[in-house]
Amino acid sequence: MRRVYLDNNATTAIRPEVLEALTPYLAEEYGNASSIHSFGQRARAGVERARAEVAALVGAQPKEIVFTSGGTESDNLAIFGVVGAAKLDQGGTKHVITSAIEHHAVLNACQHVERTGVDVTYVPVGSDGIVDPEDVRREIRPETVLITVMHANNELGTLQPIEEIGKIAREADVYFHSDAVQTAGKLPLDVRKLGVDLLSISGHKLHGPKGVGALYVHRGVHLEPLFYGGHHQGDLRPGTENVAGIIGLGKAAELARREQAGEAVRIGGLRDRLEEEILATVPQTGVNGSRERRLPNTTNIYFEFIEGEALVIALDLKRVACSTGAACSSGAIEPSHVLTAIGKPPEIARASLRFSLGHLNVAGDVAYAVEVLPETVHRLRELSPLYRKPTTANV
């Protein structure tokens, strides 16, 4: 019986090659990577190989990679680290610039530093879900210590103009961080070309294990650590390394770097077919955000007169998994902050689903999803007292 998983922006299945690579480090290769005996040194060698693979994935040097527990910790280390270490020559209030559609790992961190007395500016996005770099430029002050704008939005898939913002940040001599959790492994990354000082990635978004991620930290960037303990990873992230997780992330990075160009084309074709079939067979639907500047694997579609969570549950009963947005916001009563930020009214925001594909998806998954979706939507709409059937004029 077919089960179709179309929620890869929430998490991905660990690839068999990744599981094979990390399994020995859960059993016979159990040494502490900080120990000087042979057990520890074999673990250390594995960690450093993984560090090199992650660095190669983002175009960095291995010494610039700090392993973390995932994207949230990487984002927090970047934001709290820069803000905590920053010193203003003329005094005043430190200032951070971010966007209105960031992941909550960034938004909630920014809201926390606001409570400590830091000024934060949340630049808007257009109806396409894309930040205008000139809006960022206009908000820079002498007290600005950090700009943090995501590379790709997790709900819409929209790609932000990171290179342009990077140039603006360099001109203003302001540190620039980007959450690349959704782009790592899906699109080529080059931290030098992007012009970022800090960049976050997460293992479980690119078919690696959960509980491990990385932060690229450009040479010379000074961060205040989140934790205190031993002198691991240049004093930036104390604690015994998650060796097995790091090995898995390294293998996932290696596979992604080798395959991402071909996979982007293949998965993009599947996404386009899914999107086009839905729009053609289900009336009163539309795509949220830009259809040009976005990840190849993501589409966000609204279904008028439907509660998104009801549709997610109904599709799950048909063995199709998708989501209403960010997994960390599941169960939230408020509509998506991303969709409201691009101007969608609450009833459309609540009626929207995200479909995100990955390495394991095939053409049959798309065919099955578009087979069961029209009838499922129709049945739910018939139960809604607000449902208005389309006329010939508005189909």
The answer to whether 157 and 135 have CB atoms below 8 angstroms apart is no
The answer to whether 102 and 328 have CB atoms below 8 angstroms apart is no
The answer to whether 53 and 250 have CB atoms below 8 angstroms apart is yes
Identify the H or E element spanning 163: helix 162-172
Please say whether the dihedral angle defined by the alpha carbons of residues 379, 385, 391 and 395, taken in this order, is positive or negative.
Answer: negative
CA 324 – CA 305 distance, rounded (Å): 15
Rg (the chain; Cα; Å)? 22
Exposure b/e, 14-53, CB count within 10 A at least 16 = b? bbeebeebbeebeeebebebeeeeeebebbbebbebbbbb
What is the separation, in whole angstroms, between the first and last Cα of the chain? 34
The answer to whether 295 and 187 have CB atoms below 8 angstroms apart is yes
Catalytic residue numbers read 328
